[in-house]
């Protein structure tokens, strides 16, 4: 069945579709909080969200978006989270950093090596991989970075924990081979209320910034019994071998996630080494849609609740 977005593209002329998107963004900005969250949840999941007694995975993520713990702002801040990672599992898993700043100029960029990654610390998706700086328009790069700093990412899906992050731009070592980023291993860790072993599923993302695909596995690398709706599968999961570093990655993810009912830890493998990309509190802005749909409830049952995260 085609998605609502795909159907709109077929029916609406291009200019009308642009107007529709702008109207939706304006509506999202002005709607009262209770209506905004229920409207967004209904569009994504076809039902209303229970904030008083959340049971589904998606409901608990929406609850986090609306009522975040102060520590979530630290974990989502790509600069401040480095301290948590270093203290919990060690600094050897951090991507080397060249510079962090609150404004970017051409002179800022001139101090950097010829290849680097530029990204905002207070958002998701604001990232630029530079592999040959000498071929870049440095003024355009600086404008891009400073435009990122002006945007309040917390207003997009009202993920409130982003509002408390001081916007900065971080420049890191570029983990690229043949101008392509490495595969992305997103390890989702669910800690139940009983203190038993966590439940884990792994998203293997391939072809970032090009033809993105993903496959889902469980901790033992068996194919997950569910899929994400509208996400393209990649290599046949039956022939996709687990990385030899998987046991270490699982251990790292569980240690980082231990204080929380749920946490997603994103990894890269580069030159045989493990690097942590980021920690994710509200994946997809609460938009993970699973098939079969009952897995939203099954994962919700494995998401320890009510949460008692440590103080910030």
Q: What is the pLDDT of residue 81?
A: 98
Average pLDDT of the chain? Answer: 91
pLDDT digits (tens, 9 = 90+) for 72-85: 999 999 999 999 99
Q: Which CATH number applies to 96-172: 3.30.1490, 2.60.40, 3.90.1490, 2.40.50?
A: 3.30.1490
pLDDT average, residue stretch 263-267: 98
Residue 7: which pLDDT band, with cuts at 50, 70 and 90?
Answer: low
Contact 110, 138 (CB under 8 A): yes
**Could you tell me the CA-to-CA distances from 15 to 8, 9, 11, 135, 165 in Å, in that order?**
12, 11, 12, 34, 35
- Banded pLDDT at 145 (limits 50, 70, 90): very high
Q: What value does the mean pLDDT take over residues 12-31?
A: 65
Res 6: pLDDT: 57
pTM (predicted TM-score): 0.90
**Which of 175, 176, 155 has its CA nearest to residue 97?**
175
Residue ranges per structural domain of the chain? 33-92+181-301, 96-172
For residue 15, name the pLDDT band (cuts at 50, 70, 90).
Answer: low
The pLDDT value given to residue 10:
59
113 vs 10: which has the higher pLDDT: 113
Q: Which two tokens stand for residue 58?
A: 């998606």
Query: Could you confirm whether domain 33-92+181-301 is CATH 3.30.470.20?
Result: yes
What average pLDDT does the segment 197-224 reach?
A: 90
Average pLDDT over residues 90-103: 97
């Amino acid at each position: 069945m085609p998605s609502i977005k795909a159907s709109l593209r077929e029916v609406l002329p291009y200019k009308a579709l642009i107007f529709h998107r702008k109207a939706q963004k304006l509506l999202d900005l002005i709607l009262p909080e209770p209506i905004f969250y229920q409207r967004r949840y209904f569009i994504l999941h076809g039902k209303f969200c229970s904030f008083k007694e959340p049971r589904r995975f998606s409901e608990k993520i929406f609850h986090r978006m609306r009522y975040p713990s102060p520590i979530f702002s630290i974990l989502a801040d790509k600069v401040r989270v480095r301290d948590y990672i270093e203290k919990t599992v060690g600094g050897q898993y951090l991507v080397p950093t060249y510079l962090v700043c609150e404004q970017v100029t051409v002179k800022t960029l001139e101090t950097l090596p010829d290849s680097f990654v530029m990204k905002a610390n207070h958002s998701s998706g604001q990232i630029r991989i530079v592999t040959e700086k000498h071929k870049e328009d440095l003024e355009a790069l600086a404008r891009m970075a400073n435009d990122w700093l002006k945007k309040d990412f917390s207003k997009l899906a009202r993920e409130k924990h982003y509002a408390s992050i001081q916007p900065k731009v971080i420049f890191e070592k570029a983990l690229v081979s043949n101008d392509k980023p490495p595969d992305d291993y997103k390890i989702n860790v669910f800690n139940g209320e009983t203190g038993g072993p966590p439940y884990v599923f792994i998203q293997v993302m391939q072809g970032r910034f090009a033809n993105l695909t993903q496959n889902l596995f469980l901790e033992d690398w068996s194919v997950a019994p569910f899929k994400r709706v509208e996400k393209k599968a990649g290599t046949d999961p039956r022939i996709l071998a687990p990385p030899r570093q998987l046991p270490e990655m699982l251990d790292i993810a569980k240690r980082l996630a231990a204080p929380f009912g749920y946490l997603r830890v994103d990894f890269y493998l580069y030159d045989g080494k493990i690097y942590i990309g980021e920690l994710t509190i509200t994946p997809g802005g609460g938009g993970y849609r699973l098939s079969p749909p009952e897995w939203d409830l099954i994962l919700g049952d494995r998401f320890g609740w009510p949460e008692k995260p440590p103080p910030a």
